[in-house]
Chain A
Amino acid sequence: MSTTSTPARTAPRAAAAGRGPGRRGAGVTNVVLLATATVLVLIPFLWVVSLAFTPTEDAFGAPQLIPEDPTLGNFGTAWDANLGQALWNTSVVTVVAVLTNVVFATAAGYAFAMLPFRGSTALFYGLVSTAAIPVSVTLIPLFLMAKQFPLAGGNDLLGHGGSGLLDSLGGVVLPYVIGPMNIFLARQYFSAANSDLAEAARIDGAGEVRIFTRIYLPLAKPLLAVVSIFAFTGVWDDFLWPLVVTSSAETQTVQLALARFLTSGNVQYGPLMAGAVLITLPVLAVFLFNQRAFVSGLTDGSVKG
């Protein structure tokens, strides 16, 4: 982790060294304290990896950070416990949510910044404020709406007769299609963008869709990275909605598949931790490759979840 991040982070840091109270650099105590805190925070993860490689018969009794005879068997057990299917399901749902957010949320944010219309400011605040609605408030209505979704799962046009989107991947993706915070981020981003390019392109006769997709979107890579990451982690990590909307193994998401390990009476920590490693790696990889987007100014005020 440190090898990939150090060069990337020190350069802007050096440039910004004039800001904040830390302009004189850090003392030894400072670094030691920070390092100690970091190790303490990471200890649980060391144990996750350790247990994932510990044979089940050794998992009881005194835990050992370095397993005596490490095994890959736990990963096989976890995979067989529906984790493969769950990874596929979650990936499908995630790809859909990332695409819809990247296309529709950024388009909306772009229009709010660059193509305002009467009432657009009020509409913008209205849409963004839906981010504050607690999940528990919309949970039950969304469940019923998924159940009564027209022409899905054997439903007729009025949403009667079948199970609708319940227990389907379409149902799982339902609340993630467009994140209001992504609209907010997109508007913030494009508000700071230069509108001269659009003006010049208009004089050349380019249409608005073309200006957006050919000029501004390709320039907005940092925004697209952040929107994708938020859409990705939002879907990948969620638990309550998939728990409610799915009921069979065929539609289970990764977090649910992992939670199923707990219901089997006596918990097998080896396979559980192997599963935890497997489903966390994709998120961790995305994070490590995009640390700057996560820990930079673009996400100020929105790094939550």
Chain B
Amino acid sequence: MAAVTAPAAGTASAAAEGRRDRRSRRNRTRWIGVAFVAPAALYLLVFQLVPVLYGVALSLTEYSPLSRGAPRPVGLANYAALLDDPEFGQALLVTGRYVLMVLPLTVAIALGLALLANRPFRGVGAFRSALYVPHIVSLTVVSMVWLWMYSPDGLFNEWLTGLGLPEQRWLLQEDSALAAASAMRVWKALGSNMVLLLAGLQGIPRELYEAASMDGAGAWNRFRYVTLPGLRPMLTYVVAMDIVYLAQGFAEIYVLTQGGPLGSTTTVNYLIYTEAFQYNSFGSASAMAFVLFALIVSFSGLAVRGISGRKS
């Protein structure tokens, strides 16, 4: 509406005329607005919303893209089968552990870095940009770099040997593969989290710190009672988005471990990919996708609730 609000009118008749004029213009702008929005709206309708409905329908069928026939309706059978599918259960556990291993660590370190980078000094911009670089580089590429670092002759084993410690098989053994992948993802997620938290820090009014100092609050109390509450909205956003992205881990798993060893790094997204495009069961893969969707929505919702505090 802002676009059609003219500056304060002069005489009464001019005002009336203006009103009439504005009304006809508003009608005109209304349709031109629709025309501006239409291409984007149609595209998102057809290629985002229709696929969701299509996916719901597919999840209620049994369908192989290789077969000549149409999808065969099976009702909720795919979902029922997931309930006692040990593979899917394990993939859910792996995904949950992955999120829990990466999220607290990356947010904590990113917060530390944001606090450090929030002080103005010459060249601080260079540090901010440099720390952001892992976020710019594709997940595929950084996964390959870490694949090399974890390789038998890679950097980590080189360091261990240098310290006189035994070499490790990082990605090749069941009990360390997921942790190794998580370490990569912690590093990868630092930059974007830091930049967002930095923006949050800069939104906290300086007066609050001055008032706290005046009241005799030390550094810890200023952090506890000014920084953390002020950062809450951004922190909520960061945690929720991290959950959404981490719960969909795929490219790094594809590059680092291919889901192995023994399924110990098979995330739900990786399982969906293999189920659909290696075993050609589109129906059950779709059902998995919706279970994942529901879990992502509820857990990120819970996180938002938890951090931003219960609203009355």
Contact = CB atoms under 8 A, between A and B. Distances in A.
A63 B254 contact: no
B109 to A, nearest CB: 8
Contacts of A66: none
A198 interface: yes
Contacts of B149: 44, 47
B140 A255 contact: yes
A157 interface: no
Interface in A40-60: 41-45, 47-48, 51, 60
B173 interface: no
Contacts of A269: 148, 151
A105 B136 contact: no
A134 B199 contact: no
B54 A61 contact: no
A287 B136 contact: yes
Contacts of A158: none
Given A13-B125, A41-B134, A63-B153, A30 B293 contact: no
A135 interface: yes
B36 A137 contact: no
A47 B44 contact: no
Contact of A21 (B25, B52, B118, B187): B118
Given A137-B51, A199-B3, A279 B30 contact: no
A134 B148 contact: no
A136 B248 contact: yes
A295 interface: yes
A137 B291 CA distance: 10
Interface of B, secondary structure class, is helix
Interface stretch (B80-88, B96-104, B237-245, B303-311): B237-245
B158 A62 contact: yes
Interface string A1-22: 1100110111001101111111
A249 interface: no
B237 A301 contact: yes
B113 A301 contact: no
Interface in A19-43: 19-23, 25-27, 30-31, 33-35, 37-38, 41-43
B220 interface: no
Contact of A117 (B33, B196, B226): B33
A138 interface: yes
Contact of A20 (B3, B43, B204, B254): B204
Interface residues of A, number: 119
A174 interface: yes
B30 A118 contact: yes
Interface in A95-135: 104-105, 107-108, 110-118, 120, 123, 127, 130, 132-135
Contacts of B118: 20-22
Given A1-B129, A134-B293, A255-B138, A108 B148 contact: no
The 3 closest A-B pairs by CB, nearest first: A9-B125, A115-B33, A26-B119
Interface of A: 1-2, 5-6, 8-10, 13-14, 16-23, 25-27, 30-31, 33-35, 37-38, 41-45, 47-48, 51, 60-63, 104-105, 107-108, 110-118, 120, 123, 127, 130, 132-145, 147, 174-175, 177-178, 180, 183, 191, 195-196, 198-199, 202, 208-209, 212, 233, 236-237, 239-240, 243-244, 255, 258-259, 261-262, 267, 269, 272-273, 276, 279-280, 283-284, 287-288, 291, 294-295, 297, 299-301, 303-305
Interface of B: 1-3, 5-7, 25, 29-34, 36-37, 39-41, 43-44, 47-52, 54-55, 58, 65, 113, 115-142, 144-149, 151, 153-155, 158, 187, 190-192, 195-196, 199, 201-202, 204-206, 209, 222, 226-227, 237, 241, 244-245, 247-248, 250-251, 254-255, 268-269, 272-273, 276-277, 282, 285-286, 288-290, 292-293, 296-297
21 contacts: A5-B125, A10-B123, A20-B204, A21-B227, A23-B120, A26-B116, A31-B121, A41-B134, A41-B190, A41-B191, A108-B41, A115-B36, A136-B269, A137-B55, A141-B55, A239-B139, A240-B269, A258-B140, A283-B136, A287-B133, A305-B135
